[in-house]
Amino acid sequence: MNGRLRHICVSEKKGRAKNQLDVAELRIDHGIVGDVHAGNWHRQVSLLDIADIDTMRKLGVELKPGAFGENLGVEGIDLDTCGIGTQLRIGHSELQVTQIGKTCHHRCAIYYTAGDCIMPRAGLFAEVRKGGMIHAGDSVEVAQRIPREMIQASVITVSDRCSRGEAVDTSGPALQRLIQDSQGAHIALTKVVPDDETQLAELLTHLCDRGYDLIVTTGGTGFAPRDVTPEATRSAIEREAPGLAEEMRRRSVEVTPHAMLQRGVCGIRGRTLIVNLPGSEKGATENFQFIQSALAHAIKHLRDQPAHEELELKREQRVALKKRARKVGAQA
């Protein structure tokens, strides 16, 4: 599927309106040269579908390029279908999607004018994987699509010894295979971290806010002084999902009485489900299998939650408006 780069926008300072450019440089591990949000992090470049912007215009809002803070406006590609890990090619440069939508802590002026803002749910963020010059009007190609409907998952191994290279992580890779096979999921991120409560809580919060559906941790759920995964998880979640943890403990005790010492918790932050599993490969995979049949249904419910329930446009309405906008654009 090919589309077109409609506009390029940058801003030199935060809080300033973005300026439209005809040409810009994408720099690997940085973003757009000259843009304040560029840097060595996961939200180097922001993108919006022109059809989404046109949908807002139909609500009577005057919008200049960059009005939502987007760097790139893309037409001809339905960004709603692109999940984390999708690779986009613009000219000779390449981007990889790292985040879907964003959390807005304050309502923007456009929200108060139109009663809605599309960046929190429709914006995509990406890292630059191959740098180069880009021009307004360049072709945009989906080099590899990770379908949005696939469960976007992350597996985090929590272990001091593994993080220092003193032990080999076998639980993480085993869980990756199991999650892919049982859920048809895309494993967008794997990571090995030490048993540090603050670091883990920050990581879990960060991944939830990036739009992951499922985060599975393995390790740090026992009685040892450094076993702090449950405490870190409780710091990150907004609601607990006790039934999942209870079922894992109930079934595990049938295998070994020591399972009653397992302290793992499960919970929800935003639209993301976090599941704590034991650190051993056998314990981690067994416990995941005990609850795997319920996960797809749980994630469906989380995905169906609107970001702003009172003003969220139904997806069917948005799709119809976007198709109409594309049709008008094609006839112009």
Residue 309: per-residue pLDDT: 41
238: its two tokens? 């907004």
Residue 314: per-residue pLDDT: 42
Residue 43: per-residue pLDDT: 93
For residue 303, count other CB atoms closer than 10 A to its CB. 12
**Which residues in the chain are classed under CATH 3.40.980.10?**
152-303
Residue 307: per-residue pLDDT: 42
Query: Which regions of the chain does DSSP assign to beta strands (E)?
Result: 2-10, 19-21, 23-27, 31-32, 45-49, 72-75, 87-90, 93-100, 124-130, 132-135, 139-144, 152-158, 186-193, 214-218, 239-240, 266-269, 272-277
Give the pLDDT means over successive 10-residue stretches in the chain (332 positions).
Answer: 92 82 96 95 95 85 87 95 95 95 70 70 94 97 94 98 98 98 96 98 95 97 97 98 98 95 97 97 98 97 63 49 55 54
158: its two tokens? 């929590």
Fold of 152-303: Molybdenum Cofactor Biosythetic Enzyme; Chain A (3.40.980)
**Which residues in the chain are classed under CATH 2.40.33.20?**
2-147
Residue 12: per-residue pLDDT: 87
Q: 129: exposed, middle or buried (C-beta count within 10 Å: 0-12, 13-18, 19+)?
A: middle
2-147 CATH choice from 2.40.33.20, 2.60.120.620, 2.60.120.10, 1.10.540.10: 2.40.33.20
Residue 109: per-residue pLDDT: 63
